[in-house]
Amino acid sequence: MIRSCCLLTGFLLTVHTVANAQHFSLSRLFYPNITLKADYNVPSSLDGTRDYGLTRSGFYGVIPIQSEVQLGYSLRKKLDLRAVHTVMLAQFTQIQPTIDGVDTPDNGYKTLSVGVLRMQASIKDRLWVYGGGLGVTESNETFFSPQPFFWGGAARMHILGLRTQILYGSAITYNQKLRFVPVFGINKGLGHWRVSAILPFMVNANYKVTKWFNMDMMAGLNGYSGGFQVYTPEEKILRRENYRQIKTGISANAHLFSAINVSLEAGVTTFRQLRTFNSARQNLTSDTPATTPYIGASVRYITGRSGFSSKFVRKLGLGQTGINW
């Protein structure tokens, strides 16, 4: 149940602007925590004459704001028992592209977003996951051409067993263009393995090696979209840039000192597209950077723990309460 909620979170955060790490987990939604992350794409050929590189760093925070059991009425006007868990999501990311080792004229992007995710489990109405959020992406050169985005969605989850769940629903996103996106997720435990997916955007296979160490194999579609201004003696010209990629990789995750998780990640990024267009959405340039390796690292700090939440996650058998963050 909780894993599916996190799947939806990962999906919604992927479809707007910033490419997060592809591996995801359950229990981080039940404890306040903050993650610091950085990754680096090795420069590769942009058009046969130039090299294109990309670095990214930032933080991601989860703050539970409500967790309770309620007695009320179902949609059919019958007495019902309902469990509700609500979290606030916050994210800041700095993106820096380079061409031949030099910062591009727009000098990189920054993204800030906030959102709320609510999970509601009911005897009569089953489980619903829904939420929404908004944010802006902006060039580092200016604060006067922000590109707003927002997302919202809802999904229904069916529990086929303590180790098997499916999820389906839909999301609406806006990032320069309004999109309707169908959602289908699956979570399946197989011994020490756990396979999770939110199709067609993200697939993850986690292997628990020990209580304090696990590994992830993942693949996903992500990217960013940002705006910037080109300054000339005559005028300021608004430009926008879209970047897309498919990342496949493997990560090693260690849980240290009961409150810290360290993760190292490496893989390749391919099927890349870099497109620049003007405010009228007329295409100006379109490039396909070559496949290239990437490396990444992250540190997650769990700022607080709840005994009730730990027992809840552990007894459901849907994920690890400490290591798989």
Q: Which of 50-59, 259-268, 275-284, 292-301 has the lowest mean pLDDT?
A: 275-284
Write the CB contacts of 99 (distance below 8 Å, at least 6 apart in sequence).
Answer: 46, 50, 51, 52, 53
What is the mean predicted confidence (pLDDT) over 11-24? 38
What is the C-alpha separation between 114 and 111, in angstroms, rounded? 10
The closest of 103, 95, 90, 127 to 18, measured between CA atoms, is 95
Per-residue pLDDT, 80: 67
Q: What are phi and psi of 22, to 5 degrees?
A: -75, -30
Say yes or no to pLDDT of 27 above 60: no
The closest of 118, 114, 98 to 106, measured between CA atoms, is 98
- Let me know the angle formed at the C-alpha of 319 by 317 and 325, rounded to the nearest 5 degrees: 160
DSSP for residue 290: P
Per-residue pLDDT, 199: 82
pTM: 0.79
DSSP for residue 182: E
Per-residue pLDDT, 235: 67
**Highest-scoring range by mean pLDDT, 26-30, 162-166, 285-289:** 285-289
Q: Where are the beta strands (DSSP E) in 100-235?
A: 102-103, 109-122, 126-139, 147-161, 164-175, 178-190, 193-199, 202-208, 213-231
pLDDT band of 306, cuts 50, 70, 90: low
pLDDT band of 169, cuts 50, 70, 90: very high
Per-residue pLDDT, 166: 86
Number of C-alpha atoms within 13 angstroms, CB side, residue 221? 11
Per-residue pLDDT, 5: 35
pLDDT tens track for 231-278: 767 667 778 888 999 999 999 999 888 789 999 999 999 999 999 888
DSSP for residue 23: -
Per-residue pLDDT, 29: 67
% pLDDT > 70, the chain: 77
Per-residue pLDDT, 119: 82
User: Which tokens go with 248?
Assistant: 């496949």
Q: What is the 3-state secondary structure (H, E, C) of 67-112?
A: EEEEEEECCCCCEEEEEEEEEEEEEEEEEEEEECCEECCCCCEEEE
Q: Which of 29-38, 68-77, 257-266 has the lowest mean pLDDT?
A: 68-77
Which residue did the predictor score with more confidence, 264 or 77?
Answer: 264
pLDDT band of 58, cuts 50, 70, 90: very high
What is the mean predicted confidence (pLDDT) over 268-294? 90
pLDDT tens track for 205-230: 999 999 899 999 999 988 888 777 77
pLDDT tens track for 112-128: 999 998 888 776 667 78
